[in-house]
Structure 1
Amino acid sequence: MAISKETQAKINAARKDGYSDAEIFAHLKNSPKYKNRFTMAKKDGYTEGDIAQQLGLNITITVKQPEQPKYEKPSFLADVGAGMDDVFSGIKQGALYLKDGVTGGNDYEKFTKEKADEKAFYEKARTESGAGTNFGRFVGQTVATLPAAAFAKGYQGVNAATKAGRVVQAAGVTGQNALSGAAAGGVMFAKDADERLKNTQYAAAGGAIGGAVAHPIGKGIAKLNTKLSPNASSRASARLGATIDDQIEIALTSRNIRMGDLSDDILRGLRKDVGAALKSGKAINKEAVARKVVFDRLGITPTKAQLTGDPKLWNKQAELAKIHGAGDPLRDKLIQDNEKLSTLMDDFVTKADGQAIDQYGAMSKAVDALDNHNATMKQQVGQMYDAAKSAQGNDVLLDGAGFANDAITRLDADYAMSSLPQNVHKLIKDIGNNPDKFTLGKSEEFIKILNREHKASLQNGQPTSTTHAIGVVRDALNKRQEQAMQGLLTQGNNDAAQMYNLARTAHKMRVDQIEANPLLKAVAKGEQPDKLFNQHILGGNVAELENTVKLLRSVDAQAVNDIRGQVAKYIYDKTFSSLNGQASPKNMATALKQIGDRRLNILFSPEEVAKLKDIGSAMHYLITQPIQSNINNSNTASAALNMLGGILNKPGVRLALSPLKDVQDSVKVNRALKGSVASDAKASNDMLDNILYGEEEKKLIDILTKLGVIGGANTAK
């Protein structure tokens, strides 16, 4: 496209006017004068970029990319049609192949290429649209090959008299079914010889196997779906896994156990056992699942009766354990249970890290720690008061006359004047007569005297009338001191007032701490440790125990461990208190109830409390007979069996009969020793169907049934 001088001049003028090359090109392209020229140039093969270059314009040409085709998910009917087309196209392929062999043409090759491209597009559309498993195509192929499928035989006719004859007959049926399958597979469309061979081989194998398996047709479809779809197997596993977890969660909810709280190992074992039960078609024994968690956490292998708590199984277990010889493994297992429980409790006591040999030793350690703490605090408070007495500001006058009047008025009102010690009465009168000598320092000295008299007035730790009278005077003095101290602290520049205030605060903290800790109060009173364990650890107020433990942890952590160790030993001793050392679930439950969960949680960690509770539960499961078990503890039945064993041991008789009885008893014992979470009942059909079939498989079975493709076993002869 040549450019004229006129056009060049217009371009130069437009540039001077500030137009860009792109704007100039767009104007020329759309102007009536140049539009026809642009069209002719494009017909000659010039692009817009070429034209702009000829015009001396520097522009950027944006090439519009063609839109990618959007694939729609084929409908179910389209999939069915594709499946039928697989068969019909295969038949046409065969016809064209024979025709080309006679005429020398290439219609077979052309048809195969066109059909292969068509099917490749179909497969791409399914893949890009995320269509998933192609059940519709399978239905179409099945319907189209019904004539071949009708040739297949069932195994009902395998009825020869001899085993060898039945094998020969079965082999013939299997071969016929394989031929039937091969015929169906051989007529399928194939893009080349290799694919046709695979279709034939796979269909032959499917025909041979399909006729032999005496399972519902739905199970066969589920298996076939697993073959056809790479995701079918994982979906089936996911359905089984979800059902397993649902069954576990239902069983554990009743015991307030969360699956999330279980360790990976425990949960893995539960899933394995529950999965095995479901795969066997059995319902889940929820009691057994809950008990298994406890046993697994403790490393105990229970018997079937212990795991389920079934009274009938307990009866059988008890009688089997009494049988001489065959019952030995079961009896040994029950003895080992007691040893295991003893070991678990002994380990719990050891891990409490206590060093005291008895309760007295543990409380002596705690008393010493609290006594030292109390003495230290008392010393610190005394040092603060001594510093305050030496500080500047002790000579500040207080209202002595007002204090004396308050004290006497209160004493008269309470009829307590006669109970007041004479020395205290004299001090009050002196202060009232000489108010100008009642300073801040003197008031603190008077408080010290009152405290000493207050302590001396107690009888066996209990207050008397004198105690009350001294308290009245002390309250009146404290009130006057507080009023004066507030003024002095507000004014400032009085070191004594500030230090007295700090000392009083520290003293109050010490008193409050003693009041909140009965054990500390007992120590302050000088009580001996021999009775303190029962009073303040196993008994007493729980909140006060918590305060005591917190204080002990801060002053001597080992003292807390000693108490923990003795509490654990107390539970152990109660549990194994019988003369023969047999564990008692009832005694352990009583001990735990006496101590209470709140005390246990104060002394032990949540993990330790859970372990202790597990031991108690396991002990109950292993030892406590179910109410309905009616076990013959008199050994009557076992005595009869053992008497029979004695008869069998006689020469000649044992040789003939005893081996059989021993084997039978041993088998029963072995079964009793193996616990299972499976119940005797069968799992519901709904549950099994939900595990076996997904929604797509269920849809397929329904469609094939309505089409008449499936409706029962093939009984063709």
Structure 2
Amino acid sequence: MGLAARYGIEGAGGTFDAFVGNPVRTLAAPILGNKPRADTGGALANVMGLPSPANAQERVVGDAARLVAGSAGILGAAGKVATMTSGTTQAVARSMAAAPVKQLASGGAAGAAGGYTRETGGNEGSQLIASLAAGVATPFAVGGAQRAAASIGNRLRPAGPPVPPQQQQIQIDIKINNALEQSGLKLGDLPAEVAKSIRQDVAKAYQISDDLSPEAVRRLADYRLTGATPTAAGLTLDPAIVTRQKNLAKVGINSKDPVAQQLGQTQNANNRQLTTGLNGLGASTADDAVAGGGKIMGALDARNARAKELIGQRYDAARAANGRSAELDPYAFTQRASDLLDDALLGGKLPADVRNLLNKAANGEMPLTVDVAEQFKTRIGDLQRGTIDMAERKALGLVRSALDDTPLLPGQQIGQEAIDAFGSARALNRKWMGIVDKTPALQAVRDGIEPDQFVQKFIVGSGGNANVMDVNMLRNSIKKSPEAMDAVREQITSFLKTRALNGAADEVGNFSQSAYNKALSQIGDRKLKLFFAPEQVAQMKAIGRVASYEQFQPTGAAVNNSNTASAGGAMLLDRIADLPFLSKIPFGQQMIAQPLQNISLGMQANRAMNVPLNIAGPAKAPAQLRARGLMLSPAALMGMEGEEDRQRRLLAAPPR
């Protein structure tokens, strides 16, 4: 009892000295000179005449008891502060007072391990490492026992009325559809395996909390659509979580522990998966811009050749028709043409050679046969296409209209057969030329264009001849050619990949979200929908969003982009975990080395990869503060039984 009293007084005194006694001695040193470190508890125990430890066993027990008493003092003080303050101070105080069982056990184990190492010949460095390792490992054991007890209790506790599976599934689907609404998607629009995966994640998240984050669920759908692996940073986009996860990934990837490298490897795998997704949509084509453009141009040229063939057949039939030499009424033609031009005040806009032909017809110098009239119409058409003067074009059209209305002379009715045949041929030609005029890509093929310029100018470019209407006309011209349609899809996705990787090879390219999303926006949804199925367009847009989530560093984040701190921290902790003396301590590797590795590298990675936990609503403030390490004892560094541990425990428990 005397030793217990001494240890308790010395432990409480040590806490007092740490916060009051030693700081006061340091401040007074310039006046009073350097003094030995305070030992208020020991001095008080000596005054009271309490016994001192006489052997190794009593000294080790004393070390453990002092740290337990010291931890208890901190817990009590923090609890008082929490009741008298507010805001951040209150949150920190509550965190420091949380999970007393774990903190006290951690302190006792740390003291005992350090004392045992001292009594068996260990130096001060060995004592420090042993104390830290034991203090860290103990909360794991305590937490495991608590979770085991909670699991047994959950199994023995009477279950409430079960929710019918069908009703539960309806609730889950409603939650997911509400979350997807902003992306313009519905659960039914997603591939079956993707929808199933999202339902499973949301169902597990509901076991943790009813307060699911719609934004996180929506981002989860993007990850599942692309095949990338979701993590806490990408799902929440919380600046603190982004900072911790990215810095942890850097520490882990600098380590030799494969488990610790999990986050860094996941980042790399996600980068590759985005490129893989584009390859699956056609970007892996072996065709370059010349070959791809050549296939599309080939389909346009084939359609143009077919149209010319049909039009030629119509004209051949017209030339073979009877009545080509039948005469039209020249007076009716010239009079009608003059009246139309005068009424429109366009007489002065008529080209000279057309006016000469009108005069020759009126004076009888040129026989106006069906054959001549057709040649006259061809000439008028050529002049109309060759002028940019709208008044001149209209004047020519009036003359053409008068010629169409000109009747045959009496007794020349046999000529009507030739007129109808020529009219049919000319109508087909006019219809085809209307399509050509509305399809710049087709006109370019007729005029001659280099294949390497074709895709950029008429498909993936912005404005000019790559507007939605012109691209739609291009699609109508090649839609019956599967090879050409595939070539367009391949060239679009290849263009997107080239922009995203800046021309680098798939294996070494870093996917740029800004370059990719800019290129995707340049093409636009409306053009994409002309060539891709809705689910493919959704996947391309999801690739852009996931790339943004993965590379997002929000305002307020403090990511160590220089990588210096993470490299140094990983090397130091690897060396500590590999110290030779740890293998000589009973269960040293299991209880000390491995927990140390988990602290530095692996533990938080598992938390970051837990999808249901990360979509189950925002964490409460105390849990966030604990995650930042705002604690004093080793147990606090491990994250004590709070909201996060409670959620893990609930997730592991069987559904009720």
TM-score band w.r.t. shorter chain: 0.5 to 0.7
Cα offset for 1:575?
1.0
Whole-angstrom distance in 2 between the partners of 1:311 and 1:320 = 14
Partner of 1:299 in structure 2? 227
1:511 aligns with: 433
User: What is the CA deviation profile of residues 147-197 of structure 1, one whole-angstrom value per residue up to 9, with x for unaligned ones?
Assistant: xxxxxxxxxxxxxxxxxxxxxxxxxxxxxxxxxxxxxxxxxxxxxxxxxxx
Q: CA deviation at 1:454?
A: 6.6
The 1:486–1:245 alpha-carbon spacing in structure 2 relative to 1, beyond 3 Å, is farther
- Quote the offset at 1:258 in angstroms: 2.3
Seen in structure 2, the aligned counterparts of structure 1 residues 644 and 431 have a Cα distance that, compared at 3 Å, is same
Please state if 1:334 is matched with 2:267: yes
- CA distance in 2 between counterparts of 1:535 and 1:635 reads 43
Name the amino acid aligned to 1:361: A
CA drift of 1:361 comes to 2.5
In structure 1, what is the Cα distance between the partners aligned to 2:470 and 2:395?
Answer: 31
Q: What does 1:438-517 align with in structure 2 at a 5 Å threshold?
A: 438-451=368-381, 458=386, 463=387, 474-484=396-406, 494-517=416-439
Q: From 464, 485, 509, give the equivalent of 1:560.
A: 485
Aligned to 1:366: 296
Report Cα offsets for 1:495-520 as digits up to 9, x if no partner: 22321221121121111111221111
Is 1:400 equivalent to 2:336 in the alignment?
no
Residues 326, 415 of structure 2: 8 Å contact kept: no
- Compute the TM-score of the two structures, normalised by the length of structure 1: 0.55
Partner in structure 1 of residue 276 of structure 2: 343
Is the Cα–Cα contact under 8 Å of residues 400 and 432 in structure 1 kept in the other structure? yes
- Distance in 2 between the 1:251 and 1:476 partners? 62
* Aligned-partner Cα distance in 1 for 2:219–2:297: 43
Distance (Å, rounded) in 2 between the aligned partners of 1:407 and 1:493: 21
Residue pairs, 1:706-717, within 5 angstroms: none
Aligned to 2:314: 384
Higher relative contact order (CA closer than 8 Å, sequence separation 6+): 2
Q: Assess if the C-alpha contact under 8 Å between 1:647 and 1:653 holds in 2.
A: no
Unmatched 5+ stretches in structure 1: 1-212, 224-231, 689-693, 695-717
Counterpart of 1:661?
596
Change beyond 3 A, Cα 1:278–1:479? closer
Quote how far apart the aligned CAs of 1:474 are: 4.3
CA-to-aligned-CA distance 1:93-129 (integer Å, 9 cap, x gap): xxxxxxxxxxxxxxxxxxxxxxxxxxxxxxxxxxxxx
Q: Deviations over 1:26-79 (max 9, x none)?
A: xxxxxxxxxxxxxxxxxxxxxxxxxxxxxxxxxxxxxxxxxxxxxxxxxxxxxx
Structure 1, residues 185-238: CA drift from partner, whole Å, max 9, x if none? xxxxxxxxxxxxxxxxxxxxxxxxxxxx989x9x85x65xxxxxxxx64x5555
Instruction: For 2:511, give the aligned amino acid.
Output: A
Give the corresponding residue for 1:670. Answer: 606
SS of 1:531's partner is helix
Q: How does 1:115-154 map to 2 (within 5 A)?
A: none
Write the deviation string for residues 525-568 of structure 1: whole angstroms up to 9, x where unpaired.
Answer: 334444332222123221221121111123x3312221221111
Does residue 290 (structure 1) correspond to residue 218 (structure 2)? The answer is: yes
Between the aligned partners of 1:638 and 1:617, the Cα distance in structure 2 is 28
Q: Per the alignment, in what secondary structure is the counterpart of residue 283 of structure 1?
A: coil
* Aligned-pair CA distance for 1:453: 6.4
Is contact 2:360-2:366 (8 Å) kept?
no
Residues 1:637 and 2:565 are matched in the alignment? yes
User: Are the aligned partners of 1:398 and 1:481 in contact in 2 as well (CA < 8 Å)?
Assistant: no
Show the counterpart of 1:145: none
**Among the aligned pairs, what percent are the same residue?**
25
Q: Is 1:420 matched with 2:342?
A: no
One-letter identity of the residue aligned with 1:562: A
**2-side partners of 1:558 and 1:477: how far apart?**
45
Aligned in 2, Cα 1:507/1:293: closer, same or farther, shift over 3 Å? Answer: same
In the alignment, residue 366 of structure 1 is paired with which amino acid? Answer: I
Where does structure 2 lack aligned partners over 5 or more consecutive residues? 1-151, 621-642, 645-649, 651-655
Quote the offset at 1:643 in angstroms: 5.4
Structure 1 window deviating more from structure 2 (304-313 vs 246-255): it is 246-255
2:475 pairs with 537, 549, 553, which one? 549
Q: TM-score under structure 2 normalisation?
A: 0.59
State how 1:564-603 maps to structure 2 within 5 Å: 564-577=489-502, 581-603=509-531
Secondary structure of the residue aligned to 2:561 is coil
| Helix, strand or coil at the partner of 1:398 | coil
Aligned to 1:277: 205
The one-letter code matched in structure 2 to 1:678 is A
Q: Is the 8 A contact 1:585 1:624 kept in 2?
A: no
1:525 to 447, 463, 468: 447
Instruction: Name the amino acid aligned to 1:358.
Output: D
For the pair shown, the structure with the greater C-alpha radius of gyration is: 1
**Where does residue 434 of structure 1 map in the other structure?**
364
* Whole-angstrom CA distance in 1 between matches of 2:603 and 2:176: 30
Relative to structure 1, the CA distance from residue 318 to residue 527 in structure 2 (aligned partners, 3 Å threshold; closer, same or farther) is: closer
Q: Return the offset for 1:316.
A: 1.6
SS of residue in 1 equivalent to 2:211: strand
- Whether contact under 8 Å (1:447, 1:474) holds in the other structure is no
Q: Aligned in 2, Cα 1:522/1:408: closer, same or farther, shift over 3 Å?
A: farther
Asked if the contact 1:381/1:506 (under 8 Å) is kept, the reply is yes
Alignment check: 8 A CA contact 2:329 2:408 kept:
no
Cα gap change, 1:370 to 1:669, in 2 (>3 Å) = closer
1:345 is displaced (CA, Å) by: 1.6
CA distance in 2, matches of 1:578, 1:363: 19
- CA distance in 2 between counterparts of 1:593 and 1:587 reads 10
